[in-house]
Amino acid sequence: MTVRDLFRRTQVRSALAFTLIITVAVSALFAVLIVRLADGIEDGARARVINTRDALLAIDRRYGFDELVSVVTDEAESVRDADSIFAVVDAKGAFVAGNIRTEHPFEGWRELKRSKLPDIADDGTGRDRFFAVWTPVSKGMLLIGRSDREVRQARLILTRSLGWGLLATAILGVGSGIYLARGAQRRIDDIAGTLSAVSAGELDRRIPVVQLPHHDLDEVAERINAMLTQLERLVQNANQSSTDIAHDLKRPMTRLRQQLESANEIADKNPDIKEVLEDAIGEVDSIVSTFEALLNIGQLEAGDRRARFVDIDLAKALSDTVEAYAPVIEDSGFSLVWNATQASSLVVRGDHELLVQLFANLIENALQHCPAGTSIELTLSGSTRGPVASIADNGPGIPEHERENVFRRFYRLERERSSPGHGLGLSLVRAIADLHGASATLADNQPGLKVSIGFPQRLAVPRHSA
Protein backbone atom coordinates (compact mmCIF):
# COMPACT_ATOMS: atom_id res chain seq x y z
CA MET A 1 0.00 0.00 0.00
CA THR A 2 1.51 3.31 -1.06
CA VAL A 3 1.30 6.52 0.95
CA ARG A 4 -1.11 7.91 -1.63
CA ASP A 5 -3.37 4.87 -1.30
CA LEU A 6 -3.13 5.05 2.48
CA PHE A 7 -4.46 8.59 2.64
CA ARG A 8 -7.41 7.59 0.48
CA ARG A 9 -8.69 5.33 3.27
CA THR A 10 -11.73 6.58 5.12
CA GLN A 11 -10.26 5.61 8.50
CA VAL A 12 -7.07 7.59 7.88
CA ARG A 13 -8.99 10.61 6.68
CA SER A 14 -11.30 10.42 9.69
CA ALA A 15 -8.32 10.18 12.04
CA LEU A 16 -6.64 13.13 10.30
CA ALA A 17 -9.85 15.18 10.50
CA PHE A 18 -10.21 14.33 14.19
CA THR A 19 -6.54 15.19 14.75
CA LEU A 20 -7.02 18.51 12.96
CA ILE A 21 -10.03 19.34 15.13
CA ILE A 22 -8.12 18.45 18.31
CA THR A 23 -5.12 20.46 17.09
CA VAL A 24 -7.22 23.54 16.43
CA ALA A 25 -8.97 23.20 19.78
CA VAL A 26 -5.72 22.69 21.71
CA SER A 27 -4.06 25.56 19.83
CA ALA A 28 -6.94 27.89 20.67
CA LEU A 29 -6.84 26.77 24.30
CA PHE A 30 -3.09 27.33 24.53
CA ALA A 31 -3.40 30.70 22.78
CA VAL A 32 -5.89 31.86 25.41
CA LEU A 33 -3.72 30.37 28.15
CA ILE A 34 -0.59 32.10 26.85
CA VAL A 35 -2.34 35.45 26.62
CA ARG A 36 -3.90 35.16 30.06
CA LEU A 37 -0.67 33.93 31.67
CA ALA A 38 1.39 36.63 29.97
CA ASP A 39 -1.07 39.25 31.16
CA GLY A 40 -0.88 37.84 34.68
CA ILE A 41 2.93 37.82 34.71
CA GLU A 42 2.98 41.35 33.28
CA ASP A 43 0.58 42.51 36.00
CA GLY A 44 2.89 40.86 38.53
CA ALA A 45 5.90 42.73 37.15
CA ARG A 46 4.01 46.03 37.38
CA ALA A 47 2.93 45.13 40.91
CA ARG A 48 6.58 44.58 41.93
CA VAL A 49 7.42 47.99 40.46
CA ILE A 50 4.66 49.56 42.57
CA ASN A 51 5.84 47.75 45.71
CA THR A 52 9.43 48.90 45.17
CA ARG A 53 8.24 52.45 44.50
CA ASP A 54 6.14 52.48 47.67
CA ALA A 55 9.08 51.25 49.73
CA LEU A 56 11.38 53.95 48.35
CA LEU A 57 8.74 56.65 48.85
CA ALA A 58 8.48 55.58 52.48
CA ILE A 59 12.25 56.01 52.87
CA ASP A 60 12.03 59.45 51.24
CA ARG A 61 9.25 60.56 53.56
CA ARG A 62 10.88 59.20 56.71
CA TYR A 63 14.61 59.72 56.16
CA GLY A 64 14.73 62.33 53.41
CA PHE A 65 15.92 62.67 49.84
CA ASP A 66 19.60 61.97 50.58
CA GLU A 67 18.75 58.59 52.12
CA LEU A 68 16.60 57.80 49.09
CA VAL A 69 19.52 58.57 46.81
CA SER A 70 21.79 56.36 48.94
CA VAL A 71 19.36 53.40 48.78
CA VAL A 72 18.83 53.78 45.00
CA THR A 73 22.57 53.86 44.49
CA ASP A 74 22.98 50.65 46.48
CA GLU A 75 20.12 48.98 44.59
CA ALA A 76 21.46 50.02 41.18
CA GLU A 77 24.92 48.68 42.01
CA SER A 78 23.59 45.41 43.46
CA VAL A 79 21.42 44.49 40.46
CA ARG A 80 22.86 41.29 39.01
CA ASP A 81 20.06 39.96 36.83
CA ALA A 82 19.74 43.19 34.82
CA ASP A 83 15.98 42.97 35.20
CA SER A 84 15.48 46.24 37.16
CA ILE A 85 16.19 49.85 36.31
CA PHE A 86 16.40 52.85 38.69
CA ALA A 87 16.94 56.56 38.26
CA VAL A 88 16.68 59.62 40.53
CA VAL A 89 16.77 63.18 39.19
CA ASP A 90 16.64 66.40 41.16
CA ALA A 91 14.12 69.20 40.79
CA LYS A 92 16.07 70.57 37.79
CA GLY A 93 16.06 67.17 36.01
CA ALA A 94 19.74 66.47 36.60
CA PHE A 95 20.73 62.83 37.14
CA VAL A 96 21.53 62.03 40.79
CA ALA A 97 21.56 58.20 41.12
CA GLY A 98 20.56 54.94 39.37
CA ASN A 99 21.69 52.69 36.52
CA ILE A 100 20.26 54.68 33.58
CA ARG A 101 20.93 58.34 32.80
CA THR A 102 19.26 59.08 29.48
CA GLU A 103 15.58 58.67 30.23
CA HIS A 104 13.61 61.83 30.93
CA PRO A 105 10.47 61.92 33.07
CA PHE A 106 7.15 60.99 31.42
CA GLU A 107 3.61 60.51 32.61
CA GLY A 108 2.06 57.12 33.38
CA TRP A 109 3.41 53.71 32.44
CA ARG A 110 5.70 53.19 29.48
CA GLU A 111 7.56 50.24 27.99
CA LEU A 112 11.25 50.99 27.48
CA LYS A 113 13.42 48.88 25.16
CA ARG A 114 16.81 47.85 26.53
CA SER A 115 18.40 48.63 23.18
CA LYS A 116 17.36 52.28 23.64
CA LEU A 117 19.04 52.52 27.06
CA PRO A 118 22.82 52.95 26.44
CA ASP A 119 23.78 52.43 30.07
CA ILE A 120 22.46 48.84 30.19
CA ALA A 121 22.11 47.99 26.50
CA ASP A 122 24.82 45.34 26.72
CA ASP A 123 23.20 43.55 29.67
CA GLY A 124 20.49 40.94 29.23
CA THR A 125 19.09 40.55 25.70
CA GLY A 126 18.11 43.05 23.06
CA ARG A 127 14.51 41.80 23.21
CA ASP A 128 14.05 43.00 26.82
CA ARG A 129 11.45 45.64 27.57
CA PHE A 130 10.91 47.40 30.90
CA PHE A 131 7.59 48.32 32.46
CA ALA A 132 8.60 51.72 33.89
CA VAL A 133 6.95 54.62 35.72
CA TRP A 134 8.16 58.00 37.06
CA THR A 135 7.04 59.10 40.54
CA PRO A 136 7.57 62.49 42.23
CA VAL A 137 9.69 62.48 45.43
CA SER A 138 10.58 65.27 47.89
CA LYS A 139 13.32 66.90 45.81
CA GLY A 140 12.90 65.43 42.34
CA MET A 141 11.61 62.36 40.43
CA LEU A 142 12.11 58.63 40.88
CA LEU A 143 12.11 56.09 37.95
CA ILE A 144 11.56 52.42 38.63
CA GLY A 145 11.22 49.67 35.92
CA ARG A 146 11.02 45.87 35.68
CA SER A 147 11.99 43.65 32.73
CA ASP A 148 9.46 41.54 30.80
CA ARG A 149 11.89 38.58 30.71
CA GLU A 150 9.57 36.41 32.80
CA VAL A 151 6.70 37.10 30.40
CA ARG A 152 8.77 36.07 27.40
CA GLN A 153 10.11 32.97 29.15
CA ALA A 154 6.60 31.89 30.08
CA ARG A 155 5.44 32.39 26.50
CA LEU A 156 8.41 30.42 25.19
CA ILE A 157 7.77 27.52 27.57
CA LEU A 158 4.07 27.41 26.71
CA THR A 159 4.76 27.68 22.97
CA ARG A 160 7.26 24.82 23.09
CA SER A 161 4.85 22.77 25.16
CA LEU A 162 2.18 23.48 22.59
CA GLY A 163 4.49 22.42 19.76
CA TRP A 164 5.43 19.14 21.43
CA GLY A 165 1.82 18.53 22.36
CA LEU A 166 0.65 19.11 18.81
CA LEU A 167 3.39 16.85 17.47
CA ALA A 168 2.39 14.10 19.87
CA THR A 169 -1.27 14.61 18.95
CA ALA A 170 -0.47 14.42 15.23
CA ILE A 171 1.62 11.27 15.66
CA LEU A 172 -1.07 9.67 17.79
CA GLY A 173 -3.82 10.69 15.37
CA VAL A 174 -2.04 9.55 12.23
CA GLY A 175 -0.79 6.38 13.94
CA SER A 176 -4.25 5.46 15.15
CA GLY A 177 -5.67 6.23 11.71
CA ILE A 178 -3.13 3.96 10.02
CA TYR A 179 -3.75 1.22 12.59
CA LEU A 180 -7.51 1.42 12.10
CA ALA A 181 -7.11 1.68 8.34
CA ARG A 182 -4.98 -1.45 8.14
CA GLY A 183 -7.51 -3.45 10.12
CA ALA A 184 -10.46 -2.22 8.10
CA GLN A 185 -8.50 -2.45 4.85
CA ARG A 186 -7.95 -6.17 5.35
CA ARG A 187 -11.71 -6.63 5.51
CA ILE A 188 -12.25 -4.35 2.51
CA ASP A 189 -9.59 -6.27 0.56
CA ASP A 190 -11.41 -9.51 1.40
CA ILE A 191 -14.62 -8.02 0.04
CA ALA A 192 -12.92 -6.59 -3.07
CA GLY A 193 -11.01 -9.81 -3.72
CA THR A 194 -14.15 -11.92 -3.42
CA LEU A 195 -16.13 -9.65 -5.73
CA SER A 196 -13.29 -9.69 -8.28
CA ALA A 197 -13.15 -13.49 -8.12
CA VAL A 198 -16.93 -13.74 -8.57
CA SER A 199 -16.83 -11.36 -11.53
CA ALA A 200 -14.10 -13.60 -13.02
CA GLY A 201 -16.43 -16.60 -12.78
CA GLU A 202 -15.69 -18.07 -9.33
CA LEU A 203 -19.28 -17.97 -8.18
CA ASP A 204 -18.61 -20.15 -5.14
CA ARG A 205 -16.29 -17.61 -3.49
CA ARG A 206 -17.54 -15.98 -0.27
CA ILE A 207 -16.27 -13.24 2.03
CA PRO A 208 -14.89 -14.54 5.35
CA VAL A 209 -16.95 -13.29 8.30
CA VAL A 210 -15.63 -12.84 11.85
CA GLN A 211 -18.33 -13.86 14.30
CA LEU A 212 -16.78 -12.28 17.42
CA PRO A 213 -16.31 -9.38 17.64
CA HIS A 214 -18.98 -8.69 15.03
CA HIS A 215 -18.33 -5.36 13.28
CA ASP A 216 -20.33 -3.38 10.74
CA LEU A 217 -18.15 -4.69 7.89
CA ASP A 218 -19.08 -8.22 8.93
CA GLU A 219 -22.74 -7.31 8.54
CA VAL A 220 -21.99 -5.94 5.07
CA ALA A 221 -20.05 -9.13 4.26
CA GLU A 222 -22.99 -11.29 5.37
CA ARG A 223 -25.39 -9.36 3.14
CA ILE A 224 -23.01 -9.62 0.18
CA ASN A 225 -22.56 -13.36 0.80
CA ALA A 226 -26.33 -13.81 0.81
CA MET A 227 -26.56 -11.90 -2.46
CA LEU A 228 -23.74 -13.99 -3.98
CA THR A 229 -25.46 -17.21 -2.92
CA GLN A 230 -28.64 -16.10 -4.63
CA LEU A 231 -26.67 -14.97 -7.69
CA GLU A 232 -24.87 -18.31 -7.88
CA ARG A 233 -28.19 -20.15 -7.68
CA LEU A 234 -29.71 -18.03 -10.45
CA VAL A 235 -26.67 -18.38 -12.72
CA GLN A 236 -26.52 -22.13 -12.16
CA ASN A 237 -30.20 -22.44 -12.95
CA ALA A 238 -29.81 -20.35 -16.10
CA ASN A 239 -26.72 -22.25 -17.22
CA GLN A 240 -28.31 -25.56 -16.45
CA SER A 241 -31.44 -24.60 -18.36
CA SER A 242 -29.38 -23.51 -21.37
CA THR A 243 -27.29 -26.68 -21.20
CA ASP A 244 -30.35 -28.91 -20.87
CA ILE A 245 -32.04 -27.20 -23.82
CA ALA A 246 -28.90 -27.50 -25.93
CA HIS A 247 -28.45 -31.19 -25.02
CA ASP A 248 -32.11 -31.98 -25.57
CA LEU A 249 -32.11 -30.35 -28.99
CA LYS A 250 -28.70 -31.62 -30.03
CA ARG A 251 -29.66 -35.29 -29.75
CA PRO A 252 -32.71 -35.18 -32.07
CA MET A 253 -30.82 -32.96 -34.49
CA THR A 254 -28.01 -35.51 -34.60
CA ARG A 255 -30.49 -38.33 -35.23
CA LEU A 256 -32.17 -36.20 -37.90
CA ARG A 257 -28.83 -35.69 -39.62
CA GLN A 258 -28.16 -39.41 -39.60
CA GLN A 259 -31.59 -40.05 -41.13
CA LEU A 260 -30.98 -37.40 -43.79
CA GLU A 261 -27.62 -38.96 -44.64
CA SER A 262 -29.31 -42.32 -45.03
CA ALA A 263 -31.93 -40.75 -47.26
CA ASN A 264 -29.19 -39.00 -49.23
CA GLU A 265 -27.51 -42.32 -49.95
CA ILE A 266 -30.78 -43.77 -51.17
CA ALA A 267 -31.52 -40.72 -53.35
CA ASP A 268 -28.32 -40.94 -55.41
CA LYS A 269 -30.38 -41.65 -58.55
CA ASN A 270 -32.55 -38.53 -58.12
CA PRO A 271 -30.40 -35.34 -58.31
CA ASP A 272 -33.23 -33.00 -57.26
CA ILE A 273 -33.97 -34.90 -54.06
CA LYS A 274 -30.26 -35.30 -53.37
CA GLU A 275 -29.68 -31.52 -53.58
CA VAL A 276 -32.52 -30.86 -51.15
CA LEU A 277 -31.20 -33.44 -48.72
CA GLU A 278 -27.67 -32.02 -48.88
CA ASP A 279 -29.04 -28.52 -48.11
CA ALA A 280 -31.00 -29.97 -45.18
CA ILE A 281 -27.88 -31.70 -43.85
CA GLY A 282 -25.99 -28.38 -44.09
CA GLU A 283 -28.70 -26.61 -42.11
CA VAL A 284 -28.62 -29.36 -39.47
CA ASP A 285 -24.82 -29.02 -39.22
CA SER A 286 -25.23 -25.29 -38.67
CA ILE A 287 -27.79 -25.88 -35.90
CA VAL A 288 -25.58 -28.49 -34.21
CA SER A 289 -22.56 -26.14 -34.34
CA THR A 290 -24.71 -23.45 -32.74
CA PHE A 291 -25.64 -25.79 -29.90
CA GLU A 292 -21.99 -26.78 -29.44
CA ALA A 293 -20.98 -23.11 -29.29
CA LEU A 294 -23.66 -22.42 -26.68
CA LEU A 295 -22.49 -25.38 -24.60
CA ASN A 296 -18.88 -24.17 -24.82
CA ILE A 297 -19.85 -20.65 -23.75
CA GLY A 298 -21.85 -22.01 -20.82
CA GLN A 299 -18.93 -24.14 -19.65
CA LEU A 300 -16.54 -21.21 -19.95
CA GLU A 301 -18.80 -18.85 -18.03
CA ALA A 302 -19.11 -21.45 -15.28
CA GLY A 303 -15.30 -21.40 -14.93
CA ASP A 304 -14.92 -25.17 -15.19
CA ARG A 305 -11.77 -24.97 -17.33
CA ARG A 306 -9.87 -22.71 -14.93
CA ALA A 307 -8.63 -25.70 -12.93
CA ARG A 308 -6.56 -26.75 -15.97
CA PHE A 309 -4.68 -23.45 -16.22
CA VAL A 310 -0.89 -23.53 -16.52
CA ASP A 311 1.75 -21.01 -17.61
CA ILE A 312 1.29 -20.55 -21.35
CA ASP A 313 3.75 -19.02 -23.81
CA LEU A 314 1.43 -16.59 -25.55
CA ALA A 315 3.62 -16.44 -28.66
CA LYS A 316 3.34 -20.23 -29.03
CA ALA A 317 -0.46 -20.05 -28.96
CA LEU A 318 -0.47 -17.34 -31.65
CA SER A 319 2.13 -19.16 -33.73
CA ASP A 320 0.08 -22.37 -33.66
CA THR A 321 -2.97 -20.40 -34.77
CA VAL A 322 -1.05 -18.71 -37.61
CA GLU A 323 0.41 -22.05 -38.71
CA ALA A 324 -3.04 -23.65 -38.82
CA TYR A 325 -4.74 -20.80 -40.72
CA ALA A 326 -1.94 -19.67 -43.05
CA PRO A 327 -3.02 -21.99 -45.91
CA VAL A 328 -6.69 -21.04 -45.51
CA ILE A 329 -5.86 -17.33 -45.51
CA GLU A 330 -3.69 -17.67 -48.60
CA ASP A 331 -6.29 -19.76 -50.49
CA SER A 332 -8.99 -17.18 -49.63
CA GLY A 333 -7.02 -14.35 -51.22
CA PHE A 334 -6.10 -12.69 -47.92
CA SER A 335 -2.63 -11.72 -46.68
CA LEU A 336 -1.31 -12.38 -43.18
CA VAL A 337 1.34 -10.42 -41.24
CA TRP A 338 2.61 -11.95 -37.98
CA ASN A 339 4.53 -9.42 -35.84
CA ALA A 340 6.22 -11.16 -32.92
CA THR A 341 8.98 -8.70 -31.99
CA GLN A 342 8.56 -9.14 -28.23
CA ALA A 343 6.57 -12.35 -28.36
CA SER A 344 9.09 -14.82 -26.98
CA SER A 345 9.20 -13.32 -23.48
CA LEU A 346 5.49 -13.05 -22.74
CA VAL A 347 3.55 -15.60 -20.71
CA VAL A 348 0.03 -15.86 -19.33
CA ARG A 349 -1.79 -18.22 -17.02
CA GLY A 350 -4.35 -20.13 -19.05
CA ASP A 351 -5.40 -22.94 -21.36
CA HIS A 352 -3.45 -23.31 -24.61
CA GLU A 353 -6.34 -24.93 -26.50
CA LEU A 354 -8.78 -22.19 -25.51
CA LEU A 355 -6.34 -19.41 -26.45
CA VAL A 356 -5.81 -20.96 -29.87
CA GLN A 357 -9.60 -21.12 -30.24
CA LEU A 358 -9.87 -17.43 -29.26
CA PHE A 359 -7.36 -16.30 -31.89
CA ALA A 360 -8.85 -18.69 -34.46
CA ASN A 361 -12.32 -17.20 -33.94
CA LEU A 362 -10.95 -13.70 -34.52
CA ILE A 363 -9.19 -14.77 -37.73
CA GLU A 364 -12.33 -16.58 -38.94
CA ASN A 365 -14.36 -13.48 -38.14
CA ALA A 366 -12.07 -11.40 -40.39
CA LEU A 367 -12.16 -14.03 -43.16
CA GLN A 368 -15.95 -14.20 -43.06
CA HIS A 369 -16.75 -10.49 -42.95
CA CYS A 370 -13.95 -8.94 -45.02
CA PRO A 371 -13.60 -9.03 -48.84
CA ALA A 372 -10.82 -10.92 -50.60
CA GLY A 373 -7.53 -9.04 -50.66
CA THR A 374 -7.90 -7.87 -47.06
CA SER A 375 -4.70 -7.80 -45.00
CA ILE A 376 -4.80 -9.38 -41.53
CA GLU A 377 -2.08 -8.44 -39.04
CA LEU A 378 -1.40 -10.26 -35.78
CA THR A 379 0.70 -8.45 -33.17
CA LEU A 380 1.92 -9.47 -29.73
CA SER A 381 3.52 -6.89 -27.47
CA GLY A 382 4.12 -6.16 -23.82
CA SER A 383 2.89 -3.25 -21.70
CA THR A 384 3.10 -2.18 -18.07
CA ARG A 385 -0.27 -3.86 -17.46
CA GLY A 386 0.54 -7.12 -19.24
CA PRO A 387 0.78 -8.74 -22.69
CA VAL A 388 -1.51 -7.48 -25.46
CA ALA A 389 -2.43 -9.58 -28.50
CA SER A 390 -4.17 -7.80 -31.36
CA ILE A 391 -5.72 -8.91 -34.65
CA ALA A 392 -6.26 -6.05 -37.11
CA ASP A 393 -7.62 -5.91 -40.64
CA ASN A 394 -8.28 -3.22 -43.24
CA GLY A 395 -11.80 -4.40 -44.03
CA PRO A 396 -15.14 -2.62 -43.54
CA GLY A 397 -14.82 -2.54 -39.73
CA ILE A 398 -17.62 -2.23 -37.18
CA PRO A 399 -19.41 1.06 -36.37
CA GLU A 400 -18.47 2.44 -32.95
CA HIS A 401 -22.02 2.22 -31.59
CA GLU A 402 -22.18 -1.48 -32.50
CA ARG A 403 -18.84 -2.61 -31.04
CA GLU A 404 -20.22 -3.66 -27.66
CA ASN A 405 -23.35 -5.22 -29.17
CA VAL A 406 -21.43 -7.72 -31.31
CA PHE A 407 -20.27 -9.51 -28.15
CA ARG A 408 -23.89 -10.42 -27.39
CA ARG A 409 -25.06 -13.91 -28.29
CA PHE A 410 -26.69 -14.21 -31.72
CA TYR A 411 -26.21 -10.49 -32.42
CA ARG A 412 -25.30 -9.70 -36.02
CA LEU A 413 -24.83 -6.48 -37.94
CA GLU A 414 -27.57 -5.58 -40.39
CA ARG A 415 -25.25 -6.01 -43.37
CA GLU A 416 -24.22 -9.51 -42.21
CA ARG A 417 -27.66 -11.02 -41.61
CA SER A 418 -27.72 -12.76 -44.99
CA SER A 419 -24.20 -14.23 -44.65
CA PRO A 420 -23.45 -17.63 -43.02
CA GLY A 421 -22.86 -17.77 -39.29
CA HIS A 422 -24.73 -17.90 -36.01
CA GLY A 423 -23.52 -14.75 -34.21
CA LEU A 424 -21.65 -16.57 -31.42
CA GLY A 425 -18.01 -16.15 -32.52
CA LEU A 426 -17.27 -12.95 -30.62
CA SER A 427 -19.40 -14.13 -27.67
CA LEU A 428 -17.09 -17.11 -27.39
CA VAL A 429 -14.06 -14.80 -27.70
CA ARG A 430 -15.25 -12.71 -24.76
CA ALA A 431 -16.08 -15.81 -22.69
CA ILE A 432 -12.54 -17.16 -23.20
CA ALA A 433 -11.02 -13.75 -22.47
CA ASP A 434 -13.08 -13.35 -19.28
CA LEU A 435 -12.05 -16.82 -18.14
CA HIS A 436 -8.39 -15.74 -18.46
CA GLY A 437 -8.96 -12.40 -16.72
CA ALA A 438 -8.30 -10.63 -20.02
CA SER A 439 -10.12 -7.73 -21.67
CA ALA A 440 -11.44 -7.83 -25.24
CA THR A 441 -11.80 -4.41 -26.89
CA LEU A 442 -12.66 -3.30 -30.41
CA ALA A 443 -11.21 -0.19 -32.06
CA ASP A 444 -11.04 1.53 -35.41
CA ASN A 445 -8.01 0.42 -37.44
CA GLN A 446 -8.49 3.28 -39.94
CA PRO A 447 -9.65 1.50 -42.00
CA GLY A 448 -10.88 -1.77 -40.66
CA LEU A 449 -11.20 -3.31 -37.23
CA LYS A 450 -8.63 -3.90 -34.51
CA VAL A 451 -9.39 -6.40 -31.74
CA SER A 452 -7.08 -6.19 -28.70
CA ILE A 453 -6.89 -8.86 -26.01
CA GLY A 454 -5.17 -7.47 -22.90
CA PHE A 455 -3.91 -10.13 -20.50
CA PRO A 456 -2.94 -9.63 -16.84
CA GLN A 457 0.77 -9.30 -16.04
CA ARG A 458 2.76 -12.49 -15.49
CA LEU A 459 6.44 -13.32 -15.00
CA ALA A 460 8.64 -13.79 -18.03
CA VAL A 461 9.70 -17.24 -19.27
CA PRO A 462 12.94 -18.12 -21.05
CA ARG A 463 12.99 -17.60 -24.79
CA HIS A 464 12.21 -20.72 -26.75
CA SER A 465 14.38 -21.74 -29.62
CA ALA A 466 13.26 -21.01 -33.13
Task: Read off the CATH number of the domain in which 146 is found.
Answer: 3.30.450
Which CATH number is 399's domain given?
3.30.565.10
Residue 189 in any domain: the answer is no
Residue that wins the pLDDT comparison between 115 and 344: 115
Residue that wins the pLDDT comparison between 76 and 286: 76
pLDDT at 64 over 70: yes
Q: Are residue 273 and residue 288 in the same domain, yes or no?
A: yes
Q: Which of 166-180, 236-250, 437-451 has the lowest mean pLDDT?
A: 236-250
Is the bond into 456 cis (omega within 30 degrees of 0)?
Answer: no
Q: Which of 4-8, 146-150, 356-360 has the lowest mean pLDDT?
A: 4-8
Please return the burial class of 184, using the count of CB atoms within 10 Å of its CB with bins 0-12, 13-18 and 19+.
middle
Which CATH number is 247's domain given?
1.10.287
CA proximity to 49, closest of 145, 151, 125, 114: 145
Distance CA 177, CA 430 (A): 42
pTM higher than the cut 0.75: no
Q: Are residue 231 and residue 120 in the same domain, yes or no?
A: no
**Rama region for 166: left / alpha / beta (φ>0; ψ in -120 to 50; rest):** alpha
pLDDT bucket at 462, cuts 50 / 70 / 90: very low
| pLDDT, tens digit (0-9, with 9 covering 90-100), for 205-214 | 888 877 666 6
Residue 38 in any domain: the answer is yes
Residue that wins the pLDDT comparison between 22 and 84: 84
pLDDT attached to residue 466:
32
Q: Which of 2-11, 184-193, 233-242, 441-450 has the lowest mean pLDDT?
A: 2-11
pLDDT attached to residue 251:
63
CA proximity to 48, closest of 148, 137, 125, 157: 148
Q: Are residue 226 and residue 259 in the same domain, yes or no?
A: yes
pLDDT attached to residue 459:
44
pLDDT at 294 over 80: no
Domain boundaries, position 353: 308-454
CA distances from 176 to 17, 189, 207 (A): 12, 19, 26
pLDDT at 109 over 80: yes
Q: What is the mean pLDDT of residues 183-207?
A: 77
Mean pLDDT of all residues in the chain? 77
Q: Are residue 23 and residue 117 in the same domain, yes or no?
A: yes
Q: What is the mean pLDDT of residues 375-403?
A: 84
Distance CA 394, CA 205 (A): 43
Domain limit, last residue, from 121, 152, 183: 152
Residue 316 in any domain: the answer is yes
Residue that wins the pLDDT comparison between 275 and 51: 51
How crowded is the C-beta side of 12, counted as CA atoms within 13 Å?
A: 15
